[in-house]
């Protein structure tokens, strides 16, 4: 392909924040209309949320799926289902959304951060093993950007230590690892239906499990732990109302019909961009673990700072001039540098549950996290969308290649 730096007229790329990059259509409208006409907008009585749950469970081959109000709520349900004791430790990633970490603290547990592979920004069996302690009670893995973690060694470790794995699949709908959908590899899988995800209900979440006892606790946690349908129901334990409404369920059911196609399109478009970028000096294209299908919530490249002295920031500034809004570093800082964790700002001035933590568990020295800092310094996250055209992908590719030429260190 001819990659000469001809002037590229700027393009407006589809955005997942509006109709240009979302797929709401007649099905969603018909379902929402039906929900409204029925007069029943609570999922305790309506049909849509139940249908969404059944359809999603069947799609993944999971025994149970429950819908809830957000991806954060989904992670909260998973941790509540595990019935942790205050002060228990949950190993997790510092490169994730705070919505995946706050639930650990709300359950009185301590998030213990594993380092990540600087290439994938995902936790690994080695980095998890390095922070295990006698207080570890669960492992949360995040399949960042839709790239599955390398699950086989993580599963072996979890089995050896008898620890449940929660998979945070907020960014990884229908990603697979060794022919299994992520979310069904661990004991519990969680998903987000927030505006910018593969499919959306605006806000929303899903939780899947094959374990009947955990499923029961997840259902209860969504419903103030009220024993619906029981002979002698009660509020069995502390829990909130995390229910999804029928309006969201109506949209979600229609969105599910589009999921496989959206994922396939994202994967295909990513393979085209990869072909363009492979071999460009200083740029590393995303890699998937062996036998895995990544589903490209975002397309993350790594930039070699020896070749591009300005790093991802300089790259992002140039791409912005071409209306490509990338995210250098992805998140500005690892989660443990955010005030809630760094300054232990939790309940009043109590600092609880951090007051229960081993000193070692809350030490976030930079040298413990070479993968986190190295990875964040190098990553440039390109927005991705199944509504991109082949022409859009070519435009992104050419813009990146042109930028690489401009910013390359002159020897």
- Which residue ranges make up the site for ligand PLP (CB under 6 A)? 70-72, 75, 96-97, 99-100, 142, 168, 170-171, 192, 194, 205
Question: Shortest approach of ligand PLP to residue 397 CB, angstroms?
Answer: 26
Rounded to whole angstroms, how far apart are CA atoms 130 and 116?
11
The token pair that represents 237 in the structure block: 């334990």
CA distance 291 to 313: 33
SS3 track for 158-201: HHHHCCCEEEECCCCCCCEECCEECCCCCCEEEEECECCCCCCC
Nearer to ligand PLP, 170 or 397 (CB): 170
- Angle of helix 246-277 versus helix 390-407 axis, rounded to 10: 50
Helices (H), 166-295: 212-222, 246-277
Please say which residue, 192 or 223, places its beta carbon nearer to ligand PLP.
192
**Residue with smaller CB distance to ligand PLP, 188 or 401:** 188
Residue whose C-beta lies closest to ligand PLP: 71
Quote the least distance from Cβ 109 to ligand PLP, whole Å.
16
Shortest separation between residue 209's beta carbon and ligand PLP, angstroms: 17
Indicate the residue among 171 and 288 with the shorter CB distance to ligand PLP. 171
Say how many C-beta atoms besides its own lie within 10 A of residue 335's C-beta: 23
Our CB check for ligand PLP shows the closer of 18 and 26 to be 18
At closest approach, how far in Å is the CB of 7 from ligand PLP?
Answer: 36
- Find the shortest distance in angstroms from Cβ 247 to ligand PLP: 16
Q: How far is the CB of 171 from ligand PLP (least distance, A)?
A: 5
CB neighbour list of residue 367: distance below 8 Å, 6 or more residues apart: none
Q: Looking at beta carbons only, is 71 or 289 nearer to ligand PLP?
A: 71
Give CA–CA dist 125/253, Å, rounded.
36
Closer to ligand PLP by CB, 93 or 403: give it.
93
Nearest distance in Å: CB 164, ligand PLP: 18
- Cα distances from 156 to residues 84, 113, 152, in angstroms, run 22, 19, 6
């Amino acid at each position: 392909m001819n990659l000469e730096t001809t002037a590229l007229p700027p393009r407006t790329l589809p955005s997942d924040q509006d109709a240009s990059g979302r797929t709401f259509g007649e099905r969603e409208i018909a379902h929402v209309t039906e929900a409204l006409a029925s007069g029943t907008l609570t999922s305790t009585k309506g049909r849509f949320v139940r249908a969404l749950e059944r359809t999603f469970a069947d799609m993944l081959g999971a025994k149970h799926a429950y819908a809830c109000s957000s991806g954060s709520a989904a992670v909260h349900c998973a941790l509540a289902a595990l019935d942790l004791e205050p002060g228990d430790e949950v190993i997790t990633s510092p490169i994730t959304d705070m919505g995946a970490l706050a639930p650990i603290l709300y359950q009185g547990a301590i998030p213990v951060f594993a380092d990540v592979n600087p290439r994938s920004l995902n936790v690994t069996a080695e980095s998890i093993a390095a922070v295990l302690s006698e207080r570890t009670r669960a492992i949360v893995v995040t399949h960042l950007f839709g790239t599955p973690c390398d699950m086989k060694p993580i599963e072996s470790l979890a089995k050896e230590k008898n620890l449940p794995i929660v998979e945070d699949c907020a960014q990884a709908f229908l990603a697979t690892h060794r022919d299994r959908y992520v979310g069904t590899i661990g004991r519990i899988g969680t998903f987000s239906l927030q505006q910018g995800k593969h499919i959306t209900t605006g806000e929303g979440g899903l939780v899947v499990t094959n374990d009947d006892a955990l499923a029961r606790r997840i259902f209860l946690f969504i419903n103030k732990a009220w024993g619906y349908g029981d002979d002698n129901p009660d509020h069995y334990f502390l829990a909130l109302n995390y229910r999804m409404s029928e309006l969201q369920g109506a949209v979600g059911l229609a969105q599910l019909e589009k999921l496989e196609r959206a994922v396939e399109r994202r994967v295909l478009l990513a393979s085209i961009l990869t072909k363009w970028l492979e071999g460009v000096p200083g740029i590393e294209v995303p890699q998937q673990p062996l036998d895995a299908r990544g589903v490209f919530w975002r397309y993350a490249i790594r930039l070699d700072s020896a070749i591009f002295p300005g790093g991802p920031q300089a790259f992002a500034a140039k791409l912005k001039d071409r209306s490509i809004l990338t995210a250098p570093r992805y998140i500005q800082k690892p989660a443990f540098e955010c005030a809630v964790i760094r300054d232990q700002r939790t309940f009043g001035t109590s600092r609880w549950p951090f007051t229960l933590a081993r000193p070692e568990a809350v030490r976030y020295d930079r040298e413990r996290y070479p993968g986190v800092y190295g990875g964040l310094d190098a990553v440039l996250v390109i927005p991705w969308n199944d509504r991109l055209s082949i022409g859009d992908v070519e435009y992104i590719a050419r813009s990146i290649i042109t930028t690489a030429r401009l910013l390359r260190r002159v020897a």
